[in-house]
């Protein structure tokens, strides 16, 4: 287990190079305005690609973990469903922004290049899911290391040689294309050819239908965490978004630790639940939650009490406005750690639809509060909206799985939780 945790840390650690560290480097070379506009295109691309991702990262791992003998069948069905969804997405984007909304930012070449790179990256990550499900974290770690290191080095060199958004977007595309090819090669090397079933459209439709609740959760969940950036850009422009993302990228980096723990325990919990091994199931729940709880407290206190140190270390004086944003985001970080752990239990217990509904409620609240608070309080208003929606999400999760949480939300933990929240608030 600890080996798998270590390998997942390596995997997501190098993913930080492409999702967070690159942002820090760009902030050193570009102005806040240029950085904000570029990150706006990145955010749009990451949201739109969710149609292609469609929650496969959750369901595929869960199904294969429970039934490894059907690996190729699940992979084949999901792959063609993903191809179908990607083509549908591309056609829809081209049609809308070429013929309906011709003045949109989507007509900029940087967006199309970046979005194509996100397609390759999505398929590249997809190829690693079966390997994760069968416990081959070593291969996923190897792929993540090489792929993200390639992007990081490419962007770093590009900033010294060319230093324009267009050239950086092209580097993204080339690096992700290489990652796509390498990912398929690693998967083929382990499981061989998975194109062994006769193609049937009804199988693709069935895969899309069965994955719908997972897709809704993924799409809504990502929107829930990124829609505030779109609203901030609308009200505050590229400059405001650059400041806001300087703080949120730090939080995003720390949240990957929770993702590591959840990804490692998902296959183990799924198998224990399927085999009705209650003792092992409860034991794993307690361990996963304990780690999330302790790490959440430690990291939240770090950004609560040392926001100026973090911002000044990673950015120059142009980003000083991110300090107060980061301090408030300590509350969001703590709540997100807890809800992530509880969300895994909803997936394992086949109550993914409740998880999707909960995130939809939180998303609607986030949008409503953001639209109301950002014009009034500026960037701090976006953080307030995040705090409210994350708190509501956590409460819903606790209510839905109350029969399970009795093992982890005891009187002692509740006292600690309340004390921590009071410290973070004041």
Quick one: average pLDDT of 14-19?
A: 66
Residues 291-329 pLDDT 10s: 888 899 999 999 999 999 999 988 888 899 999 999 999
DSSP-assigned letters across all residues of 20-35: IIHHHHHHHHS-HHHH
pLDDT score at 8 = 60
Tokens 């270590």 belong to which residue? Answer: 6
Could you give the maximum distance between any two Cα atoms of the chain, in Å? 61
CA distances for 340 relative to 121, 151, 324, 336, 394, angstroms:
23, 28, 25, 6, 9
Residue 106 has pLDDT above 50, yes or no: no
First to last CA, the chain: 38
Quick one: average pLDDT of 150-162?
A: 90
359 pLDDT tier (thresholds 50, 70, 90)? confident
Evaluate the CA torsion angle 411, 417, 423, 426 in order and state its sign.
negative
108-113 contacts, C-beta under 8 A, 24 or more apart: 108/41, 109/166, 109/169, 110/38, 110/41, 110/165, 110/166, 110/169, 111/41, 111/44, 111/45, 113/166, 113/169, 113/170, 113/172, 113/173
7 pLDDT tier (thresholds 50, 70, 90)? low
Nearest alpha-carbon partner for 1 in 227, 263, 233, 257: 263
Quick one: average pLDDT of 141-168?
A: 88
Residue 90 to residue 220: CA distance in whole angstroms = 20
* C-alpha triplet 313, 319, 325: angle, nearest 5°: 95
pLDDT score at 244 = 92
Burial of 24 (0-12, 13-18, 19+ CB in 10 A): middle
What integer best gives the mean pLDDT of the chain? 83
Helix axis angle, 322-348 to 307-314, nearest 10°: 100
Quick one: average pLDDT of 224-236?
A: 84
Residue 193 has pLDDT above 80, yes or no: no
The pTM (predicted TM-score) of the whole model is 0.76
Q: Would you kindly state where each structural domain of the chain is located, as residue ranges?
A: 1-210, 212-426
The mean-pLDDT minimum among 213-222, 223-232, 291-300, 375-384 falls in: 213-222
Token pair belonging to 37: 């506009």
Nearest alpha-carbon partner for 384 in 315, 327, 308, 339: 327
CB of 329 closer than 8 Å to CB of 311? no
């Amino acid at each position: 287990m600890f080996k798998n945790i270590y390998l997942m840390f390596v995997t997501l650690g190098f993913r930080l190079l492409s999702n967070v560290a690159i942002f820090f480097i760009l902030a050193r070379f570009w102005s806040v305005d240029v950085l904000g506009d570029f990150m706006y295109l990145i955010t749009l691309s990451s949201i739109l690609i969710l149609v292609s991702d469609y929650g496969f990262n959750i369901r595929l791992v869960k199904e294969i973990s429970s039934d490894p003998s059907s690996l190729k069948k699940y992979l084949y069905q999901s792959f063609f469903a993903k191809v179908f969804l990607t083509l549908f997405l591309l056609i829809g984007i081209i049609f809308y922004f070429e013929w309906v909304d011709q003045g949109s930012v989507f007509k900029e070449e940087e967006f199309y290049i970046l979005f194509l790179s996100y397609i390759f990256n999505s398929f590249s990550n997809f190829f690693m899911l079966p390997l994760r499900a069968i416990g081959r974290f070593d291969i996923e770690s190897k792929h993540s290391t090489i792929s993200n290191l390639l992007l990081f080095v490419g962007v770093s060199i590009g900033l010294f040689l060319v230093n324009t958004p267009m050239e950086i977007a092209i580097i993204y595309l080339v690096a992700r294309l290489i990652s796509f090819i390498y990912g398929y090669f690693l998967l083929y090397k382990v499981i061989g050819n998975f194109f062994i079933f006769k193609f049937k459209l009804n199988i693709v439709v069935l895969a899309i239908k069965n994955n719908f609740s997972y897709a809704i959760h993924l799409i809504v969940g990502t929107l829930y965490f990124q829609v505030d950036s779109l609203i901030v850009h609308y009200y505050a422009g590229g400059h405001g978004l650059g400041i806001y993302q300087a703080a949120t990228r730090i939080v995003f980096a720390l949240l990957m630790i929770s993702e590591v723990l959840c990804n490692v325990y998902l296959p183990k919990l799924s198998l224990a639940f399927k085999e009705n091994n209650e003792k092992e199931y409860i034991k794993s729940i307690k361990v996963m939650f304990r780690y999330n709880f302790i790490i959440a407290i430690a990291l939240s206190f770090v950004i609560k009490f040392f926001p100026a140190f973090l911002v000044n270390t990673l950015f120059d004086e142009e980003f000083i406005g991110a300090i107060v944003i980061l301090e408030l985001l300590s509350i969001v970080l703590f709540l997100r750690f807890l809800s992530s752990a509880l969300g895994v239990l909803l997936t394992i217990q086949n109550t993914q639809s409740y998880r999707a509904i909960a995130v939809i409620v939180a998303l609607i609240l986030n949008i409503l509060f953001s639209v109301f608070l950002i014009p009034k309080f500026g960037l701090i208003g976006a953080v307030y909206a995040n705090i409210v929606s994350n708190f509501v999400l956590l409460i819903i999760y606790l209510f839905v799985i109350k029969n399970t949480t009795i093992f982890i939300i005891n009187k002692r933990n509740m006292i600690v939780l309340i004390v921590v929240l009071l410290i973070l608030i004041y």
